[in-house]
């Protein structure tokens, strides 16, 4: 017997929905490290910050590596057995993180957490998509909820670390995972999802090559500045290893009967333009490092206050999600919704450009963080929807791992790395420009050290202001691109007067609507159908 649901038949539908929401609230924010407590991890373990940045990237890489094989794993095991085991393993990994002082353990556990987290998430995707029906509305609700929970998790990780220590939040997460495992052992059915499929068709070597490609790339992003880029043999060797791994991965996919990845979808117009927009979305998401430097380094915020800034994005995230649900329900074109997201991000960058002063007040953060939350959520929803639109389920799953890594890791990592390099260069230039005021007439030798801090802070402000200026100028070009792109709409339309005069236009439109609705339902339920 098969059961395409998650829970036993005797469990009421509202209780099933509550359990799904609880799973999403716990599993989606879970990771090897949390942005809110990285500074506490550094001070508690004595390791460099770069290790925990590497671990942060590793979570996304693990999710991307799992994505092409999630359906095969889903159909191989019983739902209850798999879910309970995964929750227990996630809890154990979180507990291991709470007890270790070795940074490499955080890196490997983050990679495994990302891999297993995606297995749990796919179980929740399909029932929710079938319940909601409309894929765009599903994205609007899902991404809104997940992004809100990520901000909440980052804040409470910082609060736990401040009130107790950094280990306590990992223990708290482990306990939640164990409790959910016990609950789902009781309420979940013990049947297969569909016909049991073998696992030996999974190409584990391709998975290892995928992981090695992006883990070596993540090492370059994380440690590049600390090791002075190409002046370091480690960075050069890691770059070569990433290139060779990707080349071997690509060659292997061309020789396999059942390839792990598919590159066919990257020839499609909407995928190419979607990846292009996701790349520039990474430009705006990478400003988190600039914002942290300004808030902590210049304004002197503690880590809890800095984490509270992320909470200020929640109203903007919710507004973007509500608008997305209404937008997709009315089936309006995507262009203006995507345009509004990039416009909000540019508004955030403009406000930050003019706010680079030492007297910046905490109350002044409300508007820019609202715009950033709105822009982030709306672009996550709309660009992801547009990129994966009109793709078959097998095509989408075979390449979605690469798209996920591109969106969350590569694009953000490239711009975060670029910003750190530019900030250092611009600071050196700014200090050289400010040196003209450090002669014996304006700053006496006795007062030089007293003024060094102010000079350094002004150099950081000047460097950050320059970078935000470049972001604004680039963003205006992106807005022009979005305004001129067709987004799949027909460029030329004409009226069919024969059908109108013949009284067939109403019937034709109705048949088109019915066919479109049927195809959308089949696509949304493609997982259960397979």
Q: What is the CA radius of gyration of the chain?
A: 25
Q: What is the mean pLDDT of residues 206-231?
A: 90
Decide if 498 is inside a domain. Answer: no
Tokens of 193: 């999802």
Q: What was the pLDDT predicted at 95?
A: 94
Domain span including residue 354:
262-487
Q: What is the mean pLDDT of residues 239-252?
A: 94
- What percentage of the chain reaches a pLDDT higher than 90? 40
Provide CB contacts within 8 A for 345, sequence distance 6+: 281, 284, 371, 372, 375, 376, 379, 475
Q: Mean pLDDT over all residues of the chain?
A: 84
- Shared-domain flag, residues 130 and 277: no
pLDDT (tens digit per residue) in 283-318: 999 999 899 989 988 888 888 888 899 899 999 999
pLDDT (tens digit per residue) in 83-119: 999 999 999 999 999 999 899 999 999 999 999 998 8
Decide if 240 is inside a domain. Answer: no
Q: What is the mean pLDDT of residues 167-173?
A: 93
pLDDT band with cut points at 50, 70 and 90 for residue 529: very low
CATH of the domain at 305: 1.20.1250.20
- Shared-domain flag, residues 373 and 458: yes
Q: What is the mean pLDDT of residues 395-413?
A: 81
Question: How many structural domains compose the chain?
Answer: 2
- Shared-domain flag, residues 199 and 70: yes
Decide if 305 is inside a domain. Answer: yes
Whether pLDDT at 494 is above 50 = no
Rounded alpha-carbon distances, angstroms, from residue 103 to 139, 391, 403: 35, 40, 28
Decide if 38 is inside a domain. Answer: yes
Tokens of 329: 């329900």
- Shared-domain flag, residues 20 and 138: yes
Decide if 86 is inside a domain. Answer: yes
- Shared-domain flag, residues 195 and 282: no
Using CB atoms within 10 A of its CB, is residue 76 exposed (0-12), middle (13-18) or buried (19+)?
Answer: middle
Rounded alpha-carbon distances, angstroms, from residue 44 to 39, 40, 268, 297, 322: 9, 6, 48, 20, 41
Could you give the CA distance from residue 307 to residue 163 in angstroms, rounded to a whole number?
14
pTM score > 0.75 for this model?
yes
- Shared-domain flag, residues 174 and 278: no
Question: Could you give the angle at which helices 335-354 and 314-329 cross, rounded to 10 degrees?
Answer: 160
Decide if 225 is inside a domain. Answer: no
- Shared-domain flag, residues 301 and 375: yes
Q: Which of 327, 411, 328, 315 is nearest to 365 (CA)?
A: 315
DSSP secondary structure letters along 323-349:
HHHHHHHTT--SHHHHHHHHHHHHHHH
Decide if 257 is inside a domain. Answer: no
Decide if 48 is inside a domain. Answer: yes
């Amino acid at each position: 017997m098969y059961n395409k649901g998650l829970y036993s038949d005797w469990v009421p539908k509202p209780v099933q929905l509550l359990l799904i929401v609880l799973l999403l609230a716990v599993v989606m924010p879970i990771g090897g490290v949390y942005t809110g407590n990285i500074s506490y991890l550094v001070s508690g373990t004595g390791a460099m910050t770069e290790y925990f940045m590497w671990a942060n990237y590793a979570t996304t890489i693990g999710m991307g590596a799992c994505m092409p094989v999630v359906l095969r794993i889903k159909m191989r095991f019983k739902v209850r057995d798999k879910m309970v085991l995964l929750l227990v393993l996630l809890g154990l990994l979180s507990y291991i993180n709470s007890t270790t002082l070795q940074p490499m353990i955080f890196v490997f556990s983050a990679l495994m957490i990302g891999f297993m987290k995606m297995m749990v998430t796919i179980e929740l995707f399909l029932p929710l998509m079938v319940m909601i029906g409309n894929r765009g509305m599903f994205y609007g609700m899902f991404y809104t909820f997940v992004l809100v929970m990520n901000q909440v998790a980052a804040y409470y990780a910082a609060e736990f670390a401040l009130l107790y220590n950094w280990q306590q939040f990992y223990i708290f997460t482990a306990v939640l995972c164990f409790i959910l495992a016990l609950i789902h052992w009781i309420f979940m059915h013990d049947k297969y999802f569909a016909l049991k499929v073998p696992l030996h068709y999974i190409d584990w070597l391709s998975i290892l090559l995928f992981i090695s490609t992006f883990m070596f790339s993540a090492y370059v992003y994380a440690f590049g500045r600390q090791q002075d880029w190409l002046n370091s043999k480690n960075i050069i060797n890691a770059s070569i290893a990433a290139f060779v791994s990707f080349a071997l991965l690509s060659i292997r996919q061309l020789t396999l009967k059942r390839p792990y990845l598919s590159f066919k979808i990257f020839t499609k117009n909407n995928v190419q333009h979607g990846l292009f927009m996701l790349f520039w979305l990474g430009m705006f998401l990478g400003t988190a490092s600039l914002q942290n430097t300004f808030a902590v380094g210049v304004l002197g915020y503690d880590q809890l206050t800095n984490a509270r800034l992320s909470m200020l994005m929640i109203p903007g995230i919710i507004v973007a999600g509500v608008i997305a649900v209404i937008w997709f329900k009315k089936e309006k074109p995507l262009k203006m919704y995507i345009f509004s997201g990039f416009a909000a991000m540019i508004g955030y960058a403009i406000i930050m450009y003019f706010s680079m002063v030492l007297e910046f007040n905490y109350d002044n953060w409300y508007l820019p963080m609202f715009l950033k939350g709105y822009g982030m959520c709306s672009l996550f929803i709309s660009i992801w929807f547009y990129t994966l639109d009109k793709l078959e389920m097998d095509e989408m799953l075979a390449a979605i791992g690469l798209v996920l890594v591109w969106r969350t890791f590569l694009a953000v990592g490239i711009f975060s790395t670029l910003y750190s390099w530019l900030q250092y260069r611009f600071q050196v230039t700014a200090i050289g420009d400010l040196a003209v005021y450090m002669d014996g007439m304006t700053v006496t030798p006795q007062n030089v050290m007293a003024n060094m801090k102010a000079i350094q802070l002004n150099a950081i402000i000047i460097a950050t202001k320059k970078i935000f200026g470049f972001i604004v100028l680039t963003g205006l070009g992106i807005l022009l691109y979005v305004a001129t792109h067709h987004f799949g709409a027909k460029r030329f339309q004409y009226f069919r007067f024969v059908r109108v005069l013949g009284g067939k236009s109403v019937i034709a439109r109705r048949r088109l609507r019915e066919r479109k609705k049927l195809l959308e339902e089949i696509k949304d339920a493609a997982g259960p159908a397979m």
